[in-house]
Structure 1
Amino acid sequence: MAAPTLPNSMKAIQVVAFGKPYQINTVPVPTKLGPHELLVKVAVASYCHTDSMVIEGVFGGNKLPLTASHEGSGTVVAVGSSPGSFKVGERVMCGIFFNACGHCVACTTGPECQRQYCTGGYEGNTGAFDTDGFFAEYARVDARWTTHLPDSVSLLAAAPLACAGRTIWRGVQQAIQRAELKKGSWIAIVGSGGGLGHMGIQFARSAGLRVIGIDARDEALEVTQKSGADVVLDARAGQEATVAAVQKNVGNNASQGRGGGAEATLVLSDAAEASAFACAVTKNHGTVVQVAQPEKVIIPFQEFILRDIRLYGTLVASPQESQEMVDFIAQHGLRVQTKTYAGLDKIEELLHHVHGGQLKGKATIIVDQAQLDLEQGKVGKSKI
């Protein structure tokens, strides 16, 4: 397919100062590509919790102005000299990582599932959040961190997968591997009704696990139920009552007493007490996977010393894991709950719903409706 004629400028939602509102600016289309780079015409861009951290300056040395959103999907319209297997016209999912150092252990001799832990620095050397994102009409991306989309995975649903999906996919996989979970094993999810949680429930269920969803908002509990959790618990009942309910449903409280609980638990809530809560609902010698990123993870020493709870952290999926995720979805299906907004000028409306606490699932902006219309012939029987 021939490359389309590209405009010189485009609209982009940008962080112009930390702690200040976004601005919609006219900026150049980034047509100058490095060897491993692709230019993607953005179809859909998704808002992630980390976007709020970027605009508040949590990651420090970001270069401003910076185009927001690190979750995107679209169509390749230009390629660098070494684009790998990508071609103009392909539908893709793209995320935040851009030009990793290429020489540290994670980039070279380490296992592929640890590529995301590059220690040499990404472009700009101040972290993965220094690259312009997807709240724009076009985006420059790294082919080595871009994912081919199966026909049955739509652009609309793919955008939230680029960070949230990759993150929770790896979280579930970490729990399965670290705790050696088998089909029928119990996994608990603290913060089950959010953008990551509702996907995590489905990933876990499709892997044959039984899921206990725990949240503390009415809307989130409703999402947890609709996403297929086997057991739905309201954390507002308190830790003691929730632990008892988990043990009752898992069926190991009678013989183990305080030692019973889920075999593994994911922490998706950044509430101060969430990690301790997760340990409490996990059985002795069980596994807790920390996905949320609060300023501090606070866990009583008793959970480590007296109950031998094993805590692991996790980041987003590696390139291979990302491809495995979308291929898994193409086979098993996934319902990504989104609230969509048409056009970049709807950013304030999106933020109003995000910060109002009533949002169910993920908030996305349709940047180019024409691409969604075009793909309907391919994904008319979509599994996502």
Structure 2
Amino acid sequence: MKAAVVSEVNAPWVLQDVPKPEAGAHQVLVKIHACGVCYTDALLAQGTLKMREFPMVLGHEGVGEVVAVGDGVTSRKIGDRVGLPITQRACGRCDFCRERHVNSFVTANNCAAPVLTGVNVDGGQAEYVVADEEGTVLLPEGLSYELAAPTVCAGYTVWAALRRANAKPGARVAVVGIGGVGHLGIQFAKAAGCHVIAVTHSPDKHDLARELGADDVVANGAELREAGGADVLLHTAPTHDPAIDAMQGLRPWAKIILMGISAEDTFPIPALAVTGQSFEIIGSAHNGPEYLAEALEIVARGDVKPMIEVFPKEEVGEAYNRLINGQLRFRAVVKYA
């Protein structure tokens, strides 16, 4: 089969022939129709995150069709349309797993030996991939593979963050950073009935933010405060400075939700403001498969539409280059079938 192989740190993504995998016990073989390219893929390809040895096949936004099942599979069948989120399976034996947690990034970071699709095992940037049956999610009828792919990670991330914030209809939600995750944050918050304020330093994104559903668009925390402030701040920017600045526009008891993975290791906070205003700073990354199912349903019914650029598999290297050079509006999806 063909797969996009990263041979070493900072190497280009090259489509080449590799052995086609076979489904083992409790595994399914998925024919990949599309796979999104995520910023986490870049951190792995550049060696910032070190989870396995090179060469590797990345991709944790794969979606496709089950074409074979291994022994003991009960929850999936041939013909099922599925997505392949990053947390495929926990070891089930370590102290953390004995507490019976749901699959999430917390599981990925605390299980002694998790299986992570496209991270420590080969992922969806390939024509076929194998996964544990429990490491797949059924796709809603009518949802295209191209729109499902970015929802499996980026959409999942931002919807799980909103759910973690417990943002009620009418809540004022500020979205910092209008990129691959942030453009979905605006739409999901609007779909949840919130008053949405886009926070971006880029004047060229103001009109787009309003088209996506933002009720207000501001450039910084001072303007956010003048616009009425926010009860929830969704930090989706690739750097922390814009979110720190935006905190001056938060209302009392506001929640700051950190999501995703950044190359910046620390998040400096204005301690007096956090204490005096009783802010909550909450980490959020996926949080459970039920939120992925919800996100997929919301996209399937058309309330949210990821903005994507679609590439044939022969141009997977170009898709990755456009990601790392900041040239995408806003998510790259590579088609394999």
**Which position in structure 2 is the counterpart of 1:269?**
237
Note the 1:41-190 alignment, pairs <5 A. Answer: 41-104=31-94, 107=97, 109-110=99-100, 112=102, 116-118=106-108, 119-123=110-114, 129-176=119-166, 181-190=167-176
Which moved further from structure 2: 265-274 or 182-191? 265-274
2: CA distance, partners of 1:40 / 1:219:
40
1: CA distance, partners of 2:246 / 2:210:
19
Shift of 1:196: 1.1
Seen in structure 2, the aligned counterparts of structure 1 residues 108 and 230 have a Cα distance that, compared at 3 Å, is farther
Q: Which runs of 5+ in 1 are unaligned?
A: 1-9, 235-241, 251-260, 369-384
* Contact kept in structure 2, 1:12 and 1:135, CA below 8 Å: yes
Deviation string, structure 1 residues 296-342 (Cα, Å, up to 9, x no partner):
21222223233322101011242222122223333463211001112
Q: Which has the larger radius of gyration?
A: 1
Shift of 1:194: 1.0
SS in 2 for 1:311: strand
Q: Which runs of 4+ in 1 moved over 3 A?
A: 103-116, 121-124, 218-223, 328-332
2: CA distance, partners of 1:88 / 1:55:
32
| TM value normalised by structure 1 | 0.80
| TM value normalised by structure 2 | 0.91
SS in 2 for 1:183: coil
Shift of 1:139: 0.9
**Which position in structure 2 is the counterpart of 1:209?**
194
**Which position in structure 2 is the counterpart of 1:256?**
none
CA RMSD of aligned residues (A): 2.3
Deviation string, structure 1 residues 159-217 (Cα, Å, up to 9, x no partner):
111111111111111122xxxx32211010111x2111111111111111110011223
Residue 23 (1) aligns with residue 8 (2): no
Seen in structure 2, the aligned counterparts of structure 1 residues 273 and 28 have a Cα distance that, compared at 3 Å, is same
Which moved further from structure 2: 321-330 or 89-98? 321-330
2: CA distance, partners of 1:44 / 1:141:
16
* Contact kept in structure 2, 1:266 and 1:278, CA below 8 Å: no
* Contact kept in structure 2, 1:279 and 1:309, CA below 8 Å: no
Question: Which among 223, 226, 233 is matched to residue 248 of structure 1?
Answer: 226
Aligned letter for 2:292? S
Q: Which runs of 5+ in 2 are unaligned?
A: none
Question: Which among 283, 286, 298 is matched to residue 328 of structure 1?
Answer: 298
